[in-house]
Structure 1
Amino acid sequence: MDVPELLGRAACHVPVVAAGEAGTTVADANEYLDHDEWEIALDILVELGDAYRTETAFWDLLAEAARMMWLSRTERWCHWRRAEVVHGVVRADLQLVDPGVAGGRRTPIPGDGRLRPLWDMGAVTAAGDPDLSVARLWVESLPDLQPGGRAVVRLAPLSPQRWRRLVPGDVITMHEQRPVAGTATIVESAFSVDEDHHL
């Protein structure tokens, strides 16, 4: 399939009544497709996919189109959103510790899901040590998160079932070494009831 066909098939997954934050609809995406404005059509479809309940096939089509257009960040986002359809969404307000404090980062966190820090959710091992969990981190609305900065982030746990007990308001800590690197307050936790349903 070429890019226009991939985007056209993805557009077929979007309800006519769905609207993005800017009021755009699938009709707008199709109009840009008709004028060979593929990147704009892709951006609209991604926005629409974030505005309504999607299926994995939708994100697979968009990811492949983004790959063919060499839009690596958009491709990573589509793969990220596909995983959220299957496993659920965890969003948190993350405050990094100051770079001058032990555990503080001195370089920005890349915003596109490459960082896989450890998270302390309060569980302990049989020996009484913190039982940390791994989750990749995506920074919303920013290309990266500066040292000491604050942003809403999305988390992709390596073991999603361990995160199901989290609810909005829960506080967890981020670790890259032993000292705390950041503190996050959960703002959304919505897990798939049946992870096979969306495959």
Structure 2
Amino acid sequence: MDLLDPLHQAAALVPDGVASATGVTLADAVEYLEHRELEVAHGILTELGEAFPAGTAYWELLAASAAEMNLPRAWCLWRAAETRHGIIRADLQLFGPDRPGARRVAIPADGVARPLWDIGLVMPEGHPDLRIARIWVEGGPELAAGGRGPVRLAPLGPEGWRHLRPGDRITMHEQSPPAGIATVTQVSFPA
């Protein structure tokens, strides 16, 4: 596979006039593509993908090119899934490691932790209907045990999460007592 193909295809999906939070534009990505600085072009295109409503195809192209270059592709795959299923962001406060049920180790940033969540649904028997969601920690390599920070959630079954609204509080469980509590800050589902 020619790496330029998916990168050029992704670049073609960026609307005119889009600039990232740091000020890079499509022209910057194209310049690096022309000079075959593919990793830099990939980084710029990834950054630009946050500045417009990039679709699943965009993120899948970037994931494919990352795989070919042996670059991390987890973020591109995560964003592709969010375009299909929706975005749930929250501020997560993990309970201290001295508390029963709390995590004793940090949550890695890359979406591998899959705890259960009490999102307010109740089973017919009256107990909480806990749901699974992966966690992506934003702004760092991990969220320390007892720490607090912004996270993105990827539910295993996103349809059960559509009732959530910003300000809702949901509880994270890994054992019987909760491991943390999160306040929902953003919810966006595709139509």
TM-score by length of 2: 0.97
Counterparts of 2:148 and 2:110, CA distance in 1: 16
Secondary structure of 1:186's counterpart equals strand
Indicate which of 81, 84, 88 corresponds to 2:79.
Answer: 81
- What displacement does 1:156 show? 0.6
Q: In angstroms, what is the RMSD of aligned CA positions?
A: 0.9
- What displacement does 1:88 show? 0.9
Structure 1 position 38 matched with structure 2 position 38: yes
Secondary structure of 2:49's counterpart equals helix
Structure 1 position 150 matched with structure 2 position 139: no
Indicate which of 83, 98, 101 corresponds to 1:100.
Answer: 98
Letter in 1 for 2:30: N
- What displacement does 1:180 show? 0.7
Secondary structure of 1:101's counterpart equals coil
Which structure 1 segments of 5+ residues have no match?
A: 194-199
Counterparts of 1:40 and 1:183, CA distance in 2: 38
Q: How many residues align?
A: 191
- What displacement does 1:105 show? 1.1
Letter in 1 for 2:177: P
The equivalent residue for 1:5 is 5
Secondary structure of 1:184's counterpart equals strand
Letter in 1 for 2:137: V
The equivalent residue for 1:188 is 186
The equivalent residue for 1:137 is 135
> How much identity, in percent, do the aligned residues show?
54
Counterparts of 1:3 and 1:16, CA distance in 2: 23
- What displacement does 1:48 show? 0.9
The equivalent residue for 1:18 is 18
Q: Contact between 1:91 and 1:187, CA under 8 Å: does it hold in 2?
A: yes
Q: Contact between 1:16 and 1:27, CA under 8 Å: does it hold in 2?
A: no
Letter in 2 for 1:20: S
Superposed CA deviations along residues 28-60 of structure 1, whole A, max 9, x for unmatched, are 011111222211111111111111111211111
- What displacement does 1:80 show? 0.7
TM-score by length of 1: 0.93
The 4+ residue runs of structure 1 with deviation greater than 2 A are none
Counterparts of 1:78 and 1:161, CA distance in 2: 22
Counterparts of 1:89 and 1:123, CA distance in 2: 19
- What displacement does 1:124 show? 1.4
Secondary structure of 1:27's counterpart equals helix
Letter in 2 for 1:126: P
- What displacement does 1:10 show? 0.6
Secondary structure of 1:151's counterpart equals strand
Indicate which of 90, 97, 118 corresponds to 1:120.
Answer: 118
Superposed CA deviations along residues 59-97 of structure 1, whole A, max 9, x for unmatched, are 11100011111112xx11111111111111000000100
Which structure 2 segments of 5+ residues have no match?
A: none
Counterparts of 2:187 and 2:96, CA distance in 1: 27
- What displacement does 1:119 show? 0.3
